[in-house]
């Protein structure tokens, strides 16, 4: 069937900022869809608020709008563009909910726009749990005993009818938001209130718990001709009770009989037909009782999902691309399979390998968080391992997490660690086998299927056997067996007290090297046209060939799993670098382990190796492909950490040398260079014991920033105000401080304005990408701070001074490629905080804000293009007329008992961009995009530290002018009244009830401004901030951010917003 004739222009709705439950898999799906639809000759208009994505690059669609994903903004774009249709199935739950809201408010009907891929009726049937349950009944599918409730009273009545434990599932939410398992009435009451609040429609399905049941997913597709395809099956290793996003999983499923699998497949076909999905993909989740084999349907997502990205990478079947093409009228038999180049997409993929997904968690970033996994998703990223066997794939996935120390550290088995799901359970499970626990016993504690437990036991039995072998008996047979088990070189080196490099050389001596197999979607039945590889030791033994380097091949090291501090922004740099290098005529080879990203799409690079980013795996790939060199600057700290080892192995690093990188990252040598150049840096010292710290403070003075050496993302970094706090800091973190890893102590530049500078340095030219002025004062991690381009408070002369300083430092560091600088300014004096000789978190935002294509320029720089070819003078970041504000998104709500206070340790997970004709408009747009919904009236509660009271007096007056009322605790209220500012005094928590937290919980407070400092004050005011999180009340915790937000509210109270697409890059 041809594309629908009346389709000329389609809108694709993005998913917005990265949040837990909705991450960069939607950048992948949106990018794939834009590309596919534009190839069909359609005009594609993209709307998204996330600047960190490839999807929002201006050339990815006919026009790209970076705007808040809210009806009032979407409607403005729809009126401007007048599209034929909207595809809402590629932007996660955000896009589906938006589509329903557009339909409910009659916007679609008024403008004559239809939905493709899923109609409003289809979305409601699948997403409304009551309607979906009725539909399951009609097709004869079984489902858990459950009741839909709309009020607290109804919910309490249900609890009397269904026995505990109970599961609560709010309608229209993502990542299990608001869901939970209740084991008692007290727990149920608390979780019911939260679930009702989380659902946009205040509807919650209360169902009997399926804890311990096996969980499966089918990723399916259907076109309007009725063709039905199961793309792949996924089996969660963790049983029901752990959110699928937090569970280790394997594809294809391993423990169903063929009859059981076919029954599940048939049921999925009935469900997707009954729901009415005619054109697109869906994800259907099932539960199977481990003993009776009874099968129940849990839920369905009528859209491209998190599992879709995994299924696409696992099989090579481009789900998002095909979903978008069938949505506009093509049928699957008309769409060619890109991997084989000969078969149509209606052939179901067949796998002759195994894929394992393991989630990555960052609990340690959130002080006070409980490492407990349940129905609410908490992982921040994931990895995928591919191999010929389950164990080989599992171990590769484990290596990809970049937490190898967990395999080396001594653990003591604990029954509790196995009985209660947590992020460390897999390591505890292996330890249990080491200590002699049986499969039966571990199954009782974990409910993990015995088939998987048998696999893990085999691994530990092999480990125990090999450890008893003497060093001289590390024979070729033993080594090959170890590698086929998935045992990495570093672990063998640890067992045999050797260096990892020695193990590698021994393997090579015995010709034990991996084979590289292609992903072909058809289990070898047809030839594969796409070079998409994974390694395995189950191939034939072969010799390492000594061939010459291919001067046309280059390798790009990816960024690995998303984690706080290293996310989608680095994948952006990897993908743009590949595109530019291809245009320059190079053959690009990508190495990465993250299934969510655009960089691991099979058609992004010329060759893709889905492998862990370790020295072992990258060395084997580089030996296999023989490139002219490798790039380490684009993927964040992960490839930078690999660079020196790979250079020692004889591979060439393209761009800044190891010497330049070391000079920038060695604090002592870098400080010396800055001193020689006459640049100011904060006073610094270091200490290994509290006695030394007291002496160090005499150099730096209070307040001081303390952190152990070698930390990423500000881990364990704190601002210390006095001697008592210093003692507590050393007591708390002494295990991480030693003579080899001293505590680094820097003068804290209080109330300084902080800026980020990103530049590219070539052989004889430099381009400044821009200066981002942080809205919060120094002391908040740069990744957590809002930022604005162009700067609003810096003088022009200071900006020029910053540019000259940055260029001078880049030349003296001998940078070739990227350089990111973080600076602090006060009274026109500039201090250098740090230099990062790589792409930074701010590169995508800055490129879109200024129109300077930093990644493309970095490729020209690293490939030594001279200034006459680059023409650097045409790239001027100051030409951009729009103001852009970077907003940030935090996952605090996902973690109980965690504080939302900001500091030097990074905690944000995503970012947004607000673009406007002026500063205030850009700020408000960024707040809308980051879901900080500030009410236009109501009570504003103020709780301010003493040093902020005078500075924030003007905004208290502005709030009153705008019609808000003010309330405050004792000290703040007394101060405001002394300044003739009307304010209601309310009690602090310890002063008796009703107190300030009661007012927040009862809905009397519209939003909160709470600034504090010092450990004691932070602890005392914790309940204010936590109540705001739990009850959805906006809370601003930093004085400069409060000023900026109130300024924006004041300036734009009655004005409408401008809407403008991004302009194309000048390349």
The CB density around residue 702, as the number of other CB atoms within 10 Å, is 15
**Which residues neighbour 609 within 8 Å (Cβ) at sequence distance 6 or greater?**
516, 533, 534, 535, 589, 590, 591, 621
Range of the structural domain that residue 933 is part of: 910-1051
Residue 383 in 3-state DSSP?
strand
As a whole number, mean pLDDT of residues 203-218 equals: 92
Residue 135: the pLDDT is 92
| SS3 readout for 540-605 | CCCCCCCCCCEEEEEEEECCCCCECCECHHHHHHHHHHHHHHHHCCCEEEEEECCCCCCCCCCCCC
Statement to judge: residues 149 and 108 lie in one domain: no
Cα separation, 120 vs 276, in Å, equals 11
Domain for residue 689, yes or no? yes
Place of tokens 């001709």: 225
DSSP summary character for residue 1006: E
Whole-model pTM over 0.85: yes
**Domain closes at, from 188, 209, 230:** 209
**Domain closes at, from 747, 764, 789:** 747
SS3 content of the chain, % helix, strand, coil (to 5): 40, 20, 40
| Residue with the larger pLDDT of the pair 569 and 159 | 569
Domain for residue 998, yes or no? yes
Residue 8: the pLDDT is 92
Statement to judge: residues 924 and 1019 lie in one domain: yes
Statement to judge: residues 936 and 1017 lie in one domain: yes
Statement to judge: residues 49 and 86 lie in one domain: yes
Domain for residue 472, yes or no? no
Whether residue 429 is predicted with pLDDT greater than 60 in this model: the reply is: yes
Burial class (CB in 10 A: 0-12, 13-18, 19+), 963: exposed
Statement to judge: residues 94 and 182 lie in one domain: no
Statement to judge: residues 191 and 85 lie in one domain: no
Kindly calculate the radius of gyration of the chain based on its CA atoms and give it in whole angstroms: 28
Give the chain's end-to-end CA distance (angstroms, integer).
Answer: 38
DSSP summary character for residue 49: -
CATH of the domain at 81: 3.40.50.20
Cα separation, 565 vs 909, in Å, equals 8
Q: At what angle do helices 637-648 and 615-625 cross, to 10 degrees?
A: 60
Contact of 355 with 383, CB cutoff 8 Å = no
Statement to judge: residues 916 and 1046 lie in one domain: yes
Instruction: Report residue 186 as tokens.
Output: 């007290």
Residue 6: the pLDDT is 81
Residue 62 in 3-state DSSP?
coil
Domain for residue 720, yes or no? yes
Domain for residue 48, yes or no? yes
Output b/e per residue, 842-856; b: 16+ Cβ within 10 A: bbbbbbbbbbbbbbb
What mean pLDDT value characterizes the chain?
A: 92
- 527 pLDDT tier (thresholds 50, 70, 90): low
As a whole number, mean pLDDT of residues 861-877 equals: 96
CA angle 443-445-446, nearest 5°?
A: 65
Looking at the structure of the chain, the number of domains it has is 4
Residues 269-290 pLDDT 10s = 999 999 988 778 899 999 999 9
CA-closest candidate to residue 597, choices 33, 27, 89, 150:
27
Residue 521: the pLDDT is 65
Residue 517: the pLDDT is 93
CATH of the domain at 1007: 3.40.50.1380
Q: At what angle do helices 306-315 and 319-327 cross, to 10 degrees?
A: 110
Statement to judge: residues 61 and 162 lie in one domain: no
DSSP summary character for residue 735: G
Statement to judge: residues 938 and 1012 lie in one domain: yes
As a whole number, mean pLDDT of residues 946-967 equals: 94
Domain for residue 603, yes or no? no
What is the dihedral sign for C-alpha 498, 501, 505, 507? Answer: positive
Domain for residue 677, yes or no? no
Instruction: Report residue 442 as tokens.
Output: 């571990």
CATH of the domain at 710: 3.30.1490.20
**Which residues neighbour 1016 within 8 Å (Cβ) at sequence distance 6 or greater?**
none
As a whole number, mean pLDDT of residues 1030-1036 equals: 91
Statement to judge: residues 914 and 1018 lie in one domain: yes
Contact of 845 with 51, CB cutoff 8 Å = yes
**Beta-bridge partners for 914:** 885
Residue 1050: the pLDDT is 86
Residue 633: the pLDDT is 97
Cα separation, 3 vs 1010, in Å, equals 55
Statement to judge: residues 52 and 166 lie in one domain: no
Domain for residue 43, yes or no? yes
DSSP summary character for residue 841: T
Statement to judge: residues 1040 and 988 lie in one domain: yes
């Amino acid at each position: 069937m041809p594309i629908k004739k009346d389709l000329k222009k389609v809108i694709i709705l993005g998913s917005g900022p990265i949040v837990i439950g909705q991450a960069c898999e939607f950048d992948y799906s949106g990018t794939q869809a834009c590309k596919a639809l534009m190839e069909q000759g359609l005009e594609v208009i993209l709307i998204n608020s996330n600047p960190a994505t490839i999807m929002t690059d201006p050339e990815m669609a006919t026009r790209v709008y970076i705007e808040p994903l809210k009806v009032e903004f979407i409607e403005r774009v729809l009126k401007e563009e007048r599209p034929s249709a909207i595809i809402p199935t590629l932007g996660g739950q955000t896009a589906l909910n938006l589509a329903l809201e557009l339909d409910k408010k009659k916007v679609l009907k008024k403008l004559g726009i239809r939905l493709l891929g899923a109609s409003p009726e289809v979305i409601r049937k699948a997403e409304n749990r009551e309607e979906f349950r009725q539909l399951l009944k009609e097709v004869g599918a079984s489902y858990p005993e459950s009741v839909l409730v709309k009020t607290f009273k109804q919910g309490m009545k249900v609890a009397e009818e269904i026995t505990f434990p109970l599961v609560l599932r709010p309608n229209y939410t993502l990542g299990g938001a608001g869901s939970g398992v209740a084991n008692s009435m007290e727990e149920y009451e608390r979780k019911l209130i939260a679930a009702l609040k989380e659902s946009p429609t205040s509807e919650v399905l209360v169902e009997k718990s399926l804890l311990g049941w096996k969980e499966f997913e089918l990723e399916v597709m259907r076109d309007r001709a009725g063709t039905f395809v199961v793309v792949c099956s996924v089996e969660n290793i963790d049983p029901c009770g752990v959110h699928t996003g937090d569970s280790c999983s394997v594809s294809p499923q391993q423990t169903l009989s063929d009859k059981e699998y076919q029954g599940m497949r048939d049921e999925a076909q009935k469900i997707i037909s009954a729901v009415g999905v005619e054109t697109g993909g869906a994800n259907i989740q099932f539960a199977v009782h481990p003993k009776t084999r009874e099968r129940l349907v849990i839920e369905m997502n009528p859209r491209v999902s998190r599992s879709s990205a995994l299924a696409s990478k696992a099989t090579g079947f481009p789900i998002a691309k095909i979903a978008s093409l069938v949505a506009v009228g093509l049928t699957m038999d008309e769409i060619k399979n890109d991997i084989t180049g000969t078969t149509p997409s209606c052939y179901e993929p067949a796998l002759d390998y195994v894929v394992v997904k393991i989630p990555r968690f960052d609990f340690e970033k959130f002080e006070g968080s409980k490492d407990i996994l349940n129905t609410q998703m908490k992982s921040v990223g994931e990895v995928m391992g591919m191999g010929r066997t389950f164990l080989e794939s599992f171990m590769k996935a484990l290596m990809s997490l970049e937490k190898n120390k967990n395999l080396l550290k001594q653990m003591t088995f604990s029954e509790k660690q196995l009985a209660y799901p947590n992020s460390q359970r897999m390591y505890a499970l292996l330890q249990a086998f080491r200590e002699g626990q049986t499969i039966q016993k571990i199954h009782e504690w974990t409910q993990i299927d015995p088939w998987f437990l048998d696999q893990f036991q085999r691994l530990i039995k092999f480990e125990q056997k090999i450890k008893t072998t003497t060093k001289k008996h590390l024979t070729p047979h033993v080594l090959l067996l170890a590698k086929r088990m998935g045992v990495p070189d570093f672990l063998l080196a640890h067992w045999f007290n050797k260096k990892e490099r020695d193990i590698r050389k021994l393997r090579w001596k015995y010709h034990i090297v991996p084979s590289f197999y292609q992903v072909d979607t058809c289990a070898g039945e047809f030839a594969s046209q796409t070079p998409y590889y994974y390694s395995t030791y189950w191939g034939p033994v072969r010799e390492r060939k000594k061939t010459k380097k291919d001067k046309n091949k280059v390798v790009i090291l990816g960024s690995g799993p998303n984690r706080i501090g290293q996310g989608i922004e680095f994948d952006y740099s990897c993908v743009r670098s590949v595109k530019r290098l291809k245009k320059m005529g190079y053959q690009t080879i990508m190495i990465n382990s993250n299934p969510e990203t655009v960089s691991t799409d099979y058609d992004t690079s010329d060759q893709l190796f889905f492998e862990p980013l370790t020295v072992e795996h990258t060395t084997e790939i580089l030996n296999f492909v023989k490139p002219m060199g490798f790039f380490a600057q684009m993927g964040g700290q992960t490839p930078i950490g690999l660079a020196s080892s790979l250079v020692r192995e004889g591979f060439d690093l393209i761009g800044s040398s190891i010497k330049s990188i070391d000079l920038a990252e060695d604090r002592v040598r870098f400080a010396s260079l800055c001193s020689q150049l006459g640049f100011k840096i904060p006073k610094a010292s270091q200490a290994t014991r509290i006695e030394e710290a007291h002496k160090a403070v005499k150099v730096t003075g209070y307040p001081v920033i303390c952190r152990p050496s070698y930390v990423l993302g500000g881990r364990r970094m704190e601002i210390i105000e006095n001697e008592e706090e210093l003692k507590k800091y050393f007591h708390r973190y002494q295990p991480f401080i030693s003579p080899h890893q001293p505590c680094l102590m820097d003068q804290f530049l209080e109330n300084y304005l902080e800026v980020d500078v990103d530049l590219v340095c070539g052989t004889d030219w430099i381009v400044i990408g821009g200066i981002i002025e942080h809205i919060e004062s120094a002391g908040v991690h740069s990744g957590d701070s809002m930022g604005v381009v162009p700067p609003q408070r810096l003088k022009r002369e200071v900006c020029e001074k910053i540019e000259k300083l940055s260029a001078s430092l880049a030349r003296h560091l001998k940078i070739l490629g990227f350089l990111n600088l973080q600076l602090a300014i006060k009274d026109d004096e500039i201090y250098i905080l740090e230099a990062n000789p790589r792409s930074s978190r701010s590169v995508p935002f800055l490129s879109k804000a200024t129109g300077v294509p930093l990644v493309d320029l970095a490729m020209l720089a690293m490939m030594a293009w001279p200034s006459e070819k680059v023409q650097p003078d045409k790239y001027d970041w100051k030409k951009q007329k729009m103001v852009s504000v970077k907003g940030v998104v935090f996952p605090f709500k996902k973690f109980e008992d965690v504080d939302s206070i900001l500091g030097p340790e990074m905690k944000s997970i995503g970012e947004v961009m607000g673009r406007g004709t002026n500063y205030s408009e850009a700020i408000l747009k960024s707040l809308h995009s980051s879901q900080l919904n500030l009410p236009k009236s109501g009570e504003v509660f103020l709780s301010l530290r003493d040093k902020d009271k005078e500075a924030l007096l003007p905004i208290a007056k502005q709030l009153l002018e705008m019609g808000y009322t003010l309330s405050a605790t004792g000290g703040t209220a007394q101060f405001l009244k002394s300044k003739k500012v009307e304010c209601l005094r309310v009690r602090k928590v310890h002063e008796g009830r009703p107190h300030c937290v009661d007012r927040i919980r009862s809905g009397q407070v519209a939003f909160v401004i709470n600034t504090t400092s010092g450990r004691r004050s932070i602890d005392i005011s914790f309940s204010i901030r936590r109540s705001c999180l739990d009850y959805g009340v906006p809370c601003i915790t930093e004085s400069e951010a409060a000023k900026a937000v109130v300024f924006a509210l004041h300036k734009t109270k009655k004005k409408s917003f401008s809407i403008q697409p991004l302009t194309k890059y000048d390349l």
